[in-house]
Structure 1
Amino acid sequence: MTAVQLPEFSTTPVEQIPSIVSRLRSSFFSQKTRPAAFRLRQLRKLYWAIADHEEELLEACKRDLGKGIFEAMVSEIEWVKNDICFMTQNLERWMKDEKPEDMAWTHKFVSPRIRKDPLGVVLVIGAFNFPINLAFGPMIGAIAAGNTVVLKPSEQCPNCAAMMQLIMEKALDPECYACVQGGIPETSALLEQNWDKIFFTGSVNTAKIVAQAAAKNLTPVALELGGKNPAIVTKKADVQLAARRLLWAKTMNAGQVCISQNYILVDKEVAPTLITELKAAMKEFFPSGAKQSPDYSRIVNLRAFNRIKKMLDSTSGKIVAGGTMDADQLFIEPTVIEVSDPKDPLIVEESFGPLIPVLPVDNLDQAISIANETHATPLGVYAFGSKAETDRVLAETRSGGASINDGFFHGVIPTLAFGGVGDSGTGAYRGKASFDCFTHRRSITKTPNWMEKLLAVRYPPFDGTSKLKQYRAMGILKPDFDRDGRQKIGLLWYLITLGSGSASKGALRAALIAGIYLALRALMEGRIWKGLKG
């Protein structure tokens, strides 16, 4: 069988970066990327370039992260192809102007609308754990929104980075889109440039550097980070299902997933059962062991391997399943650790690897308290239990997203807006949110000449209160609530809804008929007409 040939990774010379950005800015101001037809053609060509190089992309994922075919196809290649199809099928509709919500009647004459404008020249910085998805995904949104784009893939996955550059150069207009390769020096040089938006996926520490650099030019940023995401399993949960689903979430990409749970808080009554079920699920998923499985990924590099190993070495918890490591193969077995201290390093630090700490708790109150104290704004929260219990978890915690009775299912729906909150990130993308992320909603009005007499109210002199009265009559909203904050209910609405709730349909109908009768009688007697005239 012929070995798959991949292009070599080549760092972009730092001195070329300013000219690359300048070229893309000139292209943006030439209006080249504005028409829908141009954007659609670029996206469609990108789709087929990805499809034509699936074999090479699979090989690149395998070399960089040890990803199996299924995982690489589902979470990387098919994902971005799906993104492109969704964008192209909806783009022209999203680009249309929007009308604002309810407004004063006089404002309708100036035809207010919201135009969808591209931001300009944007920088997308990808991450290593899903090197294709987390680079091409935001870039697809930026292209759809009409921007020119510089893509900076993760240098930690050089094979994937080289393939993405090859695909971009084959499919996309080089005057509008460019791929810059490299590490810290090249990224620093990119951050010195003036951008219209920066989209970054990665660690909190690096995000702070990106945000500080962006602040110098008041550049808006979207930050997709991570977090010490808690999973909570109550004694009312289906413990077997919880074990299977949480193990799936923690073994995908060898745990190198920003939204997988960092630890499990489990009711102490069912903690032994959860551990037993985690072991059973491990045997089911990897019958010959994770090391021999073609479906289990490897750690990205030795530095990340050593960091995870150091965390495991520092815990005071007890390893109850797994624990095997091989530095030469960058292999870390899925490892379940029973811990007793909420301050254990495996709880308070983000492992970003296949470590599964299990902390027994007394009750749901304690679980929620620990989750909030450990990280107030994680990227995800995963609650397993009764509806009342999971509702409590949603109500009493914060997170970028949440999955109930599952591990990060909300994060695998490609058209569902995805993003963090607080120190787990800012901004959202995926589906329409990707288009919105790189779009400026530009409010526009057009005032006709004939409105001048109406608009004269705004010109001084204001003649005491006469113009103010005229201005108020032109559409100032009046409160529908009293001074105690209670909403006012009109007589007709009261009569229509009288008896609703526990009353029968017959009683509600009778109340409605009575209300209509009273209104008609008042009209015939002239009371309403006299009131209108007055």
Structure 2
Amino acid sequence: MDDIPPFTPVSIDDVPSIHQRVVNKFHTHTTRPIEYRLRQLRSFYWGLKDAESALLEACKLDLGKSAYEAYLTEVGWVLNDILFMSKNLARFAKDESAEDMDLTNKFMRPKIRKDPLGAVLIIGAYNFPIQLSLGPLVGAIAAGCTAVLKPSESAPNAARIMQHVVAESLDHEAYQVLQGAVPETTALLDCKWDKIFYTGSANVGRIIAKKAAETLTPVALELGGRNPAIITKNADPRLAARRLLWAKLLNVGQVCVSQNYILIDHDVLPEFIRQLELALVEFQPKGAQGNSDYGKIINERQWLRLKEMLDSTSGKILLGGNTDRSTLFFEPTVVQVSSPDDSLLKDESFGPLIPILPVADLDEAIRISNKVHPTPLGLYPFGSKSETDRILSETRSGGASVNDAFFHASIPTLPFGGVGDSGSGSYRGRASFECFTHRRSVTTTPSWIEGMLNVRYPPFTEAKLRKLKKMTEGKPDFDREGRVKKGWVWWLLGLGGSGMGEGVTRWAIIAVVAVAVKVLRARI
């Protein structure tokens, strides 16, 4: 990492020229061919691979992440994402045929082209500085866009390595990394982009959405959410404890999809607490402070925010509670609260706080989760199939993991995104390509079909209207009561099952249908 030069801060006055550079590059159409995109992706892969050790070290310096965790959730993730995209890009970029066309429309060869949106802005986050910055960039490159990446200033070491890799391995005119904080981000938002992709807090997301609306710029917002875990009376307390605790140990709970609070049936609470305590001893035999794999809070500002939330709660600390401001250490802390209005539930903790609110039954749990935050980024129901199915049916969320903690967010080919207040748009896997792609509908009308098109030209007559209806009017497959009409095959099968008696075999019915098909073909 020492051999990688420090980045040079960009003057705010230079932001418009950097923006114009990637815009101009897009309009040369150089980035459109699949061959160009594949060359960029393959070069990017090797650039990241060569910088792998430096990236792992950067995550350790910024967040205290172990090399194991940083490879699993950051570097290895992006490398595999590039390989997946390279393998499937040609298939993703192919034109698609329109669906369910009548005969007349088929002559126009309607199709859907996959066009790049243009020059895009990607604003990364600090909690997974590699994955959440470079993951969207992979999608932008694959789609044929040009891009400016603004990494989080809160993870400066990771930002420096990413800037180096992008500069060394990608087309400098098409892809830029711009370092900075609020002033530089504001200057970037003053520019006109073809899409803005932002990962971070809901408060900043609102600012970006408002700014983008001034120029009708589309946005993808990957925001946080007060994600609930719901543990029913039929859940396995041991599995729930282990899986939800893992979610708070990973990256010290600085994960936008980790559970913000747990709603648990009061009958299960004592055993769940016992299993949490057992799991903590198993996962961290020497305690959190003695565990080298356990990271730190990103900076003092975030540490103070978490400490204030903990100090303000009226709940009872059951496990943990130790902190150290000098090292930004924050122990996994389990707190039993008595109200949805508690400080630990009112805001997203984004840290290793585990508030638990006992409830009387599943009805109360669903009611509280829908009230605290109706559209969280993630939802984690634990219980029987009928119970978890009901929870999914009566709640909303960006994604959900049944009987687990944010496993859906760990599958790199599954679309990931929020809903409502937790964000808009999705990415990862094919969705990353589609996020930066415009699905452009195209038709080509042949000259010889002009005779059929005379119905669209004035003057309009009754004869033209009758002809138009014959060409275009569909027929409902349901009656006035909304009952679906059955076709002749269904009629024959029904006749065979009742009117022909019990002795008629399945093969006899098939024979009748076969004869009917032959008769129909003969008429055609």
Q: TM-score, normalised by structure 1?
A: 0.94
Q: TM-score, normalised by structure 2?
A: 0.96
Please name the residue that 1:474 is paired with.
471
Q: Structure 1: how far apart are the matches of 2:503 and 2:120?
A: 59
8 Å CA contact 1:497, 1:508 repeated in 2: no
Counterparts of residues 338-353 of structure 1 (less than 5 Å):
338-353=336-351
Write the letter of the residue equivalent to 2:359.
Answer: V
Please name the residue that 2:118 is paired with.
120
The equivalent position to 2:221 in structure 1, one of 208, 220, 223, is 223
8 Å CA contact 2:47, 2:165 repeated in 1: yes
The equivalent position to 2:370 in structure 1, one of 366, 369, 372, is 372
When residues 497 and 186 of structure 1 are mapped into structure 2, their CA distance, relative to the original with a 3 A threshold, is farther
Q: Structure 1: how far apart are the matches of 2:112 and 2:85?
A: 20
| Pair 1:495-2:492 in alignment | yes
| Pair 1:394-2:382 in alignment | no
The equivalent position to 2:236 in structure 1, one of 231, 235, 238, is 238
Consecutive unaligned residues of structure 1, counting only runs of 5 or more, are none
The equivalent position to 1:147 in structure 2, one of 141, 145, 148, is 145
8 Å CA contact 2:4, 2:164 repeated in 1: no
When residues 506 and 137 of structure 1 are mapped into structure 2, their CA distance, relative to the original with a 3 A threshold, is farther
The equivalent position to 2:481 in structure 1, one of 475, 484, 495, is 484
Counterparts of residues 120-519 of structure 1 (less than 5 Å):
120-462=118-460, 464-496=461-493, 508-513=506-511
Identity of aligned residues (%): 57
User: Residue deviations 1:28-83, cap 9 Å, x none?
Assistant: 01011011111001111111111101111111101100001111000000000011
8 Å CA contact 1:4, 1:59 repeated in 2: no
When residues 30 and 320 of structure 1 are mapped into structure 2, their CA distance, relative to the original with a 3 A threshold, is same
Aligned CA-pair RMSD: 2.0
Q: Which moved more, 1:504-513 or 1:165-174?
A: 504-513
Q: Structure 1: how far apart are the matches of 2:364 and 2:5?
A: 53
| Pair 1:72-2:78 in alignment | no
Consecutive unaligned residues of structure 2, counting only runs of 5 or more, are none
Q: Structure 1: how far apart are the matches of 2:130 and 2:503?
A: 58
8 Å CA contact 2:496, 2:504 repeated in 1: no
Write the letter of the residue equivalent to 2:473.
Answer: I
User: Residue deviations 1:241-291, cap 9 Å, x none?
Assistant: 110000011111000000000011111011011111111111111111111
Write the letter of the residue equivalent to 1:230.
Answer: P
User: Residue deviations 1:130-151, cap 9 Å, x none?
Assistant: 0010000001000000000000
Q: How many residues align?
A: 521
Q: Structure 1: how far apart are the matches of 2:451 and 2:371?
A: 61
Q: Secondary structure, in 3 states, of the residue corresponding to 2:196?
A: strand
When residues 194 and 518 of structure 1 are mapped into structure 2, their CA distance, relative to the original with a 3 A threshold, is closer
When residues 308 and 497 of structure 1 are mapped into structure 2, their CA distance, relative to the original with a 3 A threshold, is farther
User: Residue deviations 1:418-452, cap 9 Å, x none?
Assistant: 00000000000000000000000111111111011
Q: Structure 1: how far apart are the matches of 2:124 and 2:85?
A: 20
8 Å CA contact 2:94, 2:114 repeated in 1: yes
Q: Secondary structure, in 3 states, of the residue corresponding to 1:357?
A: strand
When residues 431 and 518 of structure 1 are mapped into structure 2, their CA distance, relative to the original with a 3 A threshold, is closer
8 Å CA contact 1:254, 1:298 repeated in 2: yes
Q: Which moved more, 1:268-277 or 1:341-350?
A: 341-350
Q: Structure 2: how far apart are the matches of 1:214 and 1:42?
A: 28
Q: Secondary structure, in 3 states, of the residue corresponding to 1:115?
A: strand
User: Residue deviations 1:101-135, cap 9 Å, x none?
Assistant: 11110111111111100000000000010001000
Q: Structure 1: how far apart are the matches of 2:496 and 2:298?
A: 65
| Pair 1:39-2:37 in alignment | yes
Write the letter of the residue equivalent to 2:92.
Answer: W
When residues 319 and 6 of structure 1 are mapped into structure 2, their CA distance, relative to the original with a 3 A threshold, is farther
When residues 25 and 507 of structure 1 are mapped into structure 2, their CA distance, relative to the original with a 3 A threshold, is same
Q: Structure 1: how far apart are the matches of 2:339 and 2:479?
A: 52
Deviation at 1:335, TM superposition (A): 0.4
Q: Structure 2: how far apart are the matches of 1:290 and 1:498?
A: 72
Write the letter of the residue equivalent to 1:274.
Answer: F
8 Å CA contact 1:496, 1:508 repeated in 2: no
Please name the residue that 2:52 is paired with.
54
8 Å CA contact 1:24, 1:176 repeated in 2: yes
Write the letter of the residue equivalent to 1:491.
Answer: W
Q: Structure 2: how far apart are the matches of 1:238 and 1:504?
A: 49
Q: Secondary structure, in 3 states, of the residue corresponding to 1:219?
A: coil
Please name the residue that 2:88 is paired with.
90
